Structure 1
């Protein structure tokens, strides 16, 4: 009987110790792999775009007055995400002291936005394939929406972006640049490269807030490179990107 009590006490102590002590390196690694379920895309050229930009009035995708997910993006966002000069919406430098927010207007949506070259709503190929290629399409929240042509599975999804030693987060609000159903790159392996050759083979556009947060060398260029990956909303840490979340 005494031996049985000692065995029970030993087992109980082992459970308590396991609950109190931090996880081992191996356990921590398993947990990290579980959280980092989306692959990084490395050394990808990123250009900058902004709500209200019109860079080619003759091109179907040459204006940021609308987005592929919002025909009234300019109004929904609250106007020009920058400054208006001579009747033209131009970009502006953003500063840490302002939380990288625009300085001449008050946005109604998250200024930390971006696009990726997969339109799952208006591109027929993207819509047809989204149930098979979008990683979260089978989750309960999205599974019932895969065949709904009025709902995007991409809009508002979070992306983690690294550049020059900085890490920032943003929400998808448009599709591009250059291609609109590049599933191999967007949802593919770490070494997958963008199919588009436009804009120096750019694989995403980022907003002025992300441009400043990431420390881009150019306000509106095609030489800055980033690493990026999808993240779930619960894994997005506190920061200026959480100050105003688009829902």
Structure 2
């Protein structure tokens, strides 16, 4: 009788402990799942050689894109980690699963849409032709025959130059960053460069680059925030909602005016 009672009690204890263990395990699982969601840090690809949109000053990342993605993340309650890299490496890094978001003055193009999904446009840009200050020989694309044009790899400026070099008879030299591109023209290694209008206008206003914008804008395009195509619909929805909220609250205009003055 004592033996039966002892075994019975033992069985009851084992079952009770198993039940508690099962309950604790399920609770931990739920907590971990929720924690993963709350603690998720989205990696954001940026090109910090692209003022006024992205640049580094006194060890701090600044610019329209930097302030904008930080404000969107704050508005939507998610965390981000900036990952600076060459512009041409951003989309490949997204494809390799190393980035979740890209904001780098990235123009919305049909070619890029095959690989990434874009947010609603957040800035209307456009390309400009730039020469050394005092150059009166080049005023438009028609004056580039036999000339050399510097562009930054992976940009819409590079694509535009590639698509039009045969038509206008110029050669292309590709570099990795904006600073190198500016130097190609200012030191006479290239005759002209093609760059986004707001970027080159800001650069010339900030520093004595020895450059000038010539002629009208070569095209019109819009910047968008990108996520990998078909992989981050919920994240893209948050980005669009955050962007809309910033525009409605006036925070968006405040960010632009910080770097570009009143628009």
**TM-score category by the smaller chain?**
under 0.3
* Greater per-residue helix proportion: 2
Q: Give the TM-score normalised by the residue count of structure 1.
A: 0.24
More strand by share: 2
Question: Which is greater in Rg?
Answer: 2
